[in-house]
């Protein structure tokens, strides 16, 4: 196995991107006899660790796992956007497998005894150990090199527990075949990893894995009697998404408790928090307009965006509540409170959008890494004035009307009863 490692000049000083260079290089490389696999890939300095696509195969039979890996590689090649497809179970050298025959077992041989004698013949048997100058010296007895060759194994003799030397061909069955160079295990179970990189201009790793899992995984597992799991960036993203979800849940519960204590109400905190799901509209719209894919930075930015929008909503609801406490009708309080908060909400949106907009159009590689976060906040803040100044007051008005109708209904039922 051999490899080339190429380091490019800084991205700001060149017009050719890594994937374009790899594609041009691959077109120039001619196929050579004896090359099992040729893979070209770029190192990723940002995002979750691991390969874009990392499909793990678990099983007991190595050849079945290798066949499954070949099928998975063929499937991935047919999916647009997948490049640098390989597996980590390479073919090894020619080997001879010894299988004990019933005749050999009847002579008293076991798999362990035959393996021990063959190993001693080729690698030598330790006859004595002794210490010399604080070092252990091993005396190893082995056959001459000209006799200890693989093509001479058919002329090898083994000794049964009781008896004379017997040709090995009468004891075991010799089966030549190509073995594997490496065998990897996880938790004691054999595994094979099929990996690939993804060209984000054509596809995403999540879409590729979803397509593979829906249309190909079950058939491959059934035909080859193996199990399939997903590692790499998919596993890291799943763990990170779980952490973000748990953090968001804790934040929502904490905010509701604080708002319920401040407003002395169970319903008004729900009005304030109701704008959070609608903030996703701006984030999705921003990614669509900018041609970006949503990632973990987008979700983290969504949490920050929700905090800014909730802050505006809290101030608006507090202003409306102060007017109601002074004796104003709910409708008048909503109109006056919204007019009072119009300028601060618009200023918050303008300053935030103005500060992050240059980052969205920056062309450097470092800026492109955080552009999904900027798109989430910018486009989310663009819909913030509508949500804070229209959606929240509308919910307050609807809640007030429902309470008024409920109280009038109770009053009318009391009059009828009397």
Report whether pLDDT(113) > 80: yes
| Eight-state DSSP code of residue 58 | E
Kindly state the average pLDDT of the residues 248-265. Answer: 82
Which range, 36-50, 135-149, 160-174, has the best average confidence (pLDDT)?
160-174
In this structure, which CATH number among 3.40.50.170, 3.40.47.10, 3.40.50.2300, 3.30.70.1320 belongs to the domain 11-90+183-231?
A: 3.30.70.1320
Please determine, for residue 416, whether its predicted confidence score (pLDDT) is greater than 50.
Answer: no
Residues 85-105 have a mean pLDDT of: 83
Distance CA 229, CA 274 (A): 37
Residue 64: partners with Cβ closer than 8 Å, 6 or more residues away: 224, 225, 226
pLDDT grade for 413, boundaries at 50, 70 and 90: very low
Nearest to 140 by CA among 129, 153, 152: 129
Which of the 8 DSSP states describes residue 140? Answer: E
Res 408 pLDDT > 70: no
DSSP state of 88: S
Q: Token match 């519960």: residue? A: 253
- Match 């907009």 to its residue by tokens: 357
Is the per-residue pLDDT at 46 higher than 60? no
Q: Name the CATH topology of 94-180.
A: 3.30.2090
Most confident segment among 9-18, 66-75, 174-183 = 66-75
The pair of three-digit structure tokens given for residue 369, joined into one six-digit string: 């890494």
Give the pLDDT confidence score for residue 17 in this predicted structure: 75
Domain 235-417 has CATH 3.20.20.140: no
In whole angstroms, give the CA distance from residue 320 to residue 271.
Answer: 13
At residue 179 the predicted structure's pLDDT band, cuts being 50, 70 and 90, is: confident
For the chain, give every residue range classified as CATH 3.30.2090.10.
94-180
Q: What is the DSSP letter of 93?
A: E
Q: How confident is the model at residue 172 (pLDDT cuts 50, 70, 90)?
A: confident
Q: What pLDDT is stored for residue 147 in this prediction?
A: 62
3-state secondary structure 228-255: EEEECHHHHHHHHHHHHHHHHHHHHHHH
Best CA proximity match to 323, nearest among 314, 334, 309:
334
Q: Which residues pair with 194 in a beta bridge?
A: 55, 87
Question: To which residue do tokens 């800014």 refer?
Answer: 308
Every domain of the chain with CATH number 1.20.1640.10 lies at: 235-417
Helix (H, G, I), strand (E, B) or coil at 86: strand
pTM value? 0.57
CA atoms within 13 A on the CB side of 80: 4
Q: Which two tokens stand for residue 136?
A: 């252990």
> What is the C-alpha separation between 111 and 283, in angstroms, rounded?
65
Please give the pLDDT value at position 263: 76
| Residue ranges matching CATH 3.30.70.1320 in the chain | 11-90+183-231
Question: Please, which pLDDT band fits residue 417 given cuts at 50, 70 and 90?
Answer: very low
Question: How many CB atoms neighbour CB 391 within 10 A?
Answer: 16
Proportion of the chain above pLDDT 70, given as a percent: 92
Of 30-44, 66-80, 307-321, 359-373, which range is least confident?
30-44
| Alpha carbons 204 and 207: distance in angstroms, whole number | 5
Residue 142's SS3 state is coil
Average pLDDT, the chain: 80
Q: In the predicted model, is pLDDT for residue 297 greater than 70?
A: yes
Q: Which two tokens stand for residue 301?
A: 């930015």
Cα–Cα nearest to 39, from 49, 29, 54, 48: 29
């Amino acid at each position: 196995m051999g490899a080339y490692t190429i380091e490019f000049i800084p991205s700001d000083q060149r017009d050719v991107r890594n994937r374009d260079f790899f594609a041009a290089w691959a077109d120039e490389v001619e196929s050579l006899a004896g090359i099992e696999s040729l893979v070209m890939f770029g190192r990723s300095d940002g995002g979750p660790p691991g390969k874009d696509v990392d499909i793990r195969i678990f099983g007991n039979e190595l050849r079945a796992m290798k066949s499954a890996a070949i099928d998975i590689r063929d499937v991935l090649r047919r999916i647009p956007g997948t490049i640098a497809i390989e597996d980590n179970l390479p073919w090894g050298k020619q080997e001879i497998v010894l299988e004990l025959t019933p005749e050999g077992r009847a002579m008293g041989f076991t798999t362990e005894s035959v393996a021990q004698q063959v190993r001693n013949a080729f690698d030598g048997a330790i006859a004595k150990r002794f210490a010399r100058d604080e070092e252990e010296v091993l005396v190893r007895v082995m056959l001459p090199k000209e006799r200890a060759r693989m093509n001479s194994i058919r002329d090898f003799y083994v000794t049964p527990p009781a008896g004379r030397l017997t040709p090995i061909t009468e004891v075991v069955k010799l089966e030549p075949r190509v073995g594997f160079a490496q065998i990897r295990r996880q938790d004691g179970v054999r595994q094979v990893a099929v990996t690939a990189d993804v060209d984000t201009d054509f596809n995403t790793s999540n879409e590729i894995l979803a397509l593979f899992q829906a249309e190909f995984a079950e058939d491959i597992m059934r035909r080859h009697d193996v199990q399939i799991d997903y590692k790499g960036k998919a596993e890291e993203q799943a763990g990170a998404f779980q952490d973000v979800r748990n953090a968001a849940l804790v934040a929502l519960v904490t905010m509701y408790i604080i708002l319920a204590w401040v407003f002395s109400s169970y319903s008004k905190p729900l009005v304030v928090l109701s704008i959070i799901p609608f903030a996703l509209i701006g984030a999705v719209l921003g990614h669509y307009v900018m041609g970006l894919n949503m990632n973990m930075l987008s979700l983290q930015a969504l949490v920050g965006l929700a905090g800014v929008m909730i802050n505006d909503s809290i101030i608006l609801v507090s202003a409306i509540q102060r007017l109601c406490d002074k004796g104003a009708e709910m409708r008048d309080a909503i109109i006056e409170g919204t007019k009072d908060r119009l300028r601060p909400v618009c200023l918050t949106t303008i300053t935030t959008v103005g500060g992050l907009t240059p980052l969205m159009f920056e062309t450097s590689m470092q800026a492109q890494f955080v552009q999904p976060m900027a798109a989430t906040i910018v486009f989310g803040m663009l819909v913030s004035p509508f949500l804070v100044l229209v959606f929240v007051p509308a919910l307050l008005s609807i809640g007030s009307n429902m309470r008024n109708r409920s109280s009038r209904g109770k009053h009318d039922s009391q009059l009828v009863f009397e």
